[in-house]
Amino acid sequence: MDSLQIKNKVISEIEKIRTNLIQLAEKIHFNPEVSGQEINASRWISEYLERNGFDVQLRIGGLNTAFIACSGENPGKPFIAFMAEYDALPEIGHGCGHSLIAPAAAGAAIALRNTLPADFVNICVIGTPEEETTGGKLKLLEKGVFDNIDVAIMFHPHTITTGLRPCIGRTSIVFEFYGKPAHASTYPDKGINALDAVILTFNNINALRQQLREDVRVHGIITDGGKAANIIPDYARAEFFVRAREKSYMEEVVQKVINCAKSASLATAAQLKISSLMPTYLPDIPIDSLIDCFESNLRVLGYSTQKVSAPYRLGSSDYGNVSQKVPSLMGFISIAPEGTPTHSIQFRDAAISEKGLKVMIDAAKAMAMTAMDVVLVPGMLEQIKNEFVRKVSGSV
């Protein structure tokens, strides 16, 4: 079979399971489960994979709603992972469209399994929960779940169609200031004002902004600012996120932001305690050979693709950490007009629209076709790995 014939075969395998994939997407969409509670979604997807010949392990990496479903025991042969997210948002439901991600991953894996000879490749679907909060992929990486994977692929619905929408890294910082209470009128000279330290931290950061690169985001809130206007606040607390496109620059900005808080501590005499809210999401490493391949497969399916460059409406994802560990691809396909905000009711409704469901099927096709190229095109996997090594070592 030539490459066009074999791609037509994988497309027809997905067409055979089209109705099942749509039913799965509808079930997940109408039964939204927030991060860490995706009991039904993880069960529905893993059971479906099991019925289609995959060996399933549940609750991997210490996560109740994570799973891995594998097909093939061929050491030395390419190992392709499709990543499935399925968590919803509080109140909005599937406003990020993860109800489309999981069935697309399952569809791509099943079609690939049914198309390629059994001894050609190893395929798995990794169920990665908690993307919207603490990042299930981080825990799975820590436990070695991605250790033997050659290429990890996923799809995310969006308002643009592209093989690359850069992920911005994200570090959380919590500043707590401890002062001394006193009557704000009678004994102002006896107090140490912790709220002033927080306000100075904000002002210092606002002065810092002018000297930062344009892809950087620093944003925060005050969670504690005192109890009463006539008591000098002895405790104040603020939470910040620092985001940047490059890992090393993000670390540099985090230090600058910490200095903003330290100088506020010095100015007010309030003691400073620094901690973090959640693990750091790293920026992604784009692999051009995978991106080009995914985009050309999308064009075969009738889509036009666009190039996005930073600092286009950047977000952060635990996908970034995966891409720092193994060569990875996160492809985006538009399900709603450009400008529609994600994490919104409009985007949630787009995820269950006719167009959203068609995109999910095409995403499964494009991912399976890309995996075919990785496995079958001579030298392609080697090229991907070389590009990855070059970029991780910073030699590009």
By the criterion CB under 5 A, which residues form the site for Zn ion?
96
Taking every pair of C-alpha atoms in the chain, what is the biggest distance, in angstroms? Answer: 89
Number of residue whose CB is nearest Zn ion: 96
Q: Which is nearer to Zn ion, 193 or 321 (CB)?
A: 321
Q: Which is nearer to Zn ion, 10 or 96 (CB)?
A: 96
**Burial classification of residue 36, based on how many CB atoms lie within 10 Å of its CB (0-12 exposed, 13-18 middle, 19 or more buried):** middle
Q: Which is nearer to Zn ion, 92 or 269 (CB)?
A: 92
Phi, psi (rounded to 5 degrees) for 239: -115, 135
Q: Which is nearer to Zn ion, 170 or 237 (CB)?
A: 170
Q: How far is the CB of 246 from Zn ion (least distance, A)?
A: 22
Other C-beta atoms closer than 10 Å to the C-beta of 210 total 6
Q: Which is nearer to Zn ion, 95 or 220 (CB)?
A: 95
Q: How far is the CB of 76 from Zn ion (least distance, A)?
A: 34
Q: Which is nearer to Zn ion, 158 or 237 (CB)?
A: 158
Q: Which is nearer to Zn ion, 63 or 351 (CB)?
A: 351
Q: How far is the CB of 274 from Zn ion (least distance, A)?
A: 27
Q: How far is the CB of 333 from Zn ion (least distance, A)?
A: 13
Beta bridge partners of 275: 174
Q: Which is nearer to Zn ion, 71 or 317 (CB)?
A: 317
Q: Which is nearer to Zn ion, 203 or 353 (CB)?
A: 353
Q: Which is nearer to Zn ion, 94 or 113 (CB)?
A: 94
What is the SS3 string spanning the chain? CCHHHHHHHHHHHHHHCHHHHHHHHHHHHHCCCECCCCHHHHHHHHHHHHHCCCEEEECHHHCCCCEEEEECCCCCCCEEEEEECCCEECCCECCCCHHHHHHHHHHHHHHHHHHCCCCCCEEEEEECCCCCCCCHHHHHHHCCCCCCCCEEEEEEEECCCECCCCECEEEEEEEEEECECCECCCCHHHCECHHHHHHHHHHHHHHHHHHCCCCCEEEEEEEECCCCCCECCCEEEEEEEEEECCHHHHHHHHHHHHHHHHHHHHHHCCEEEEECCCCCECCCCCCHHHHHHHHHHHHHCCCCCCCCCCCCCCECCCHHHHHHHCCEEEEEEECCCCCCCCCCHHHHHHHCCHHHHHHHHHHHHHHHHHHHHHHHCCCHHHHHHHHHHHHHCCCC
Cα 309 to the center of its chain, rounded Å: 18
Q: How far is the CB of 208 from Zn ion (least distance, A)?
A: 28
List the one residue out of 245, 253, 217, 359 whose CA is nearest residue 309: 245
Q: How far is the CB of 342 from Zn ion (least distance, A)?
A: 6
Q: How far is the CB of 343 from Zn ion (least distance, A)?
A: 6
CA angle 202, 206, 207 (to 5 degrees): 120
Q: How far is the CB of 244 from Zn ion (least distance, A)?
A: 19
Q: How far is the CB of 31 from Zn ion (least distance, A)?
A: 18
Q: How far is the CB of 320 from Zn ion (least distance, A)?
A: 13
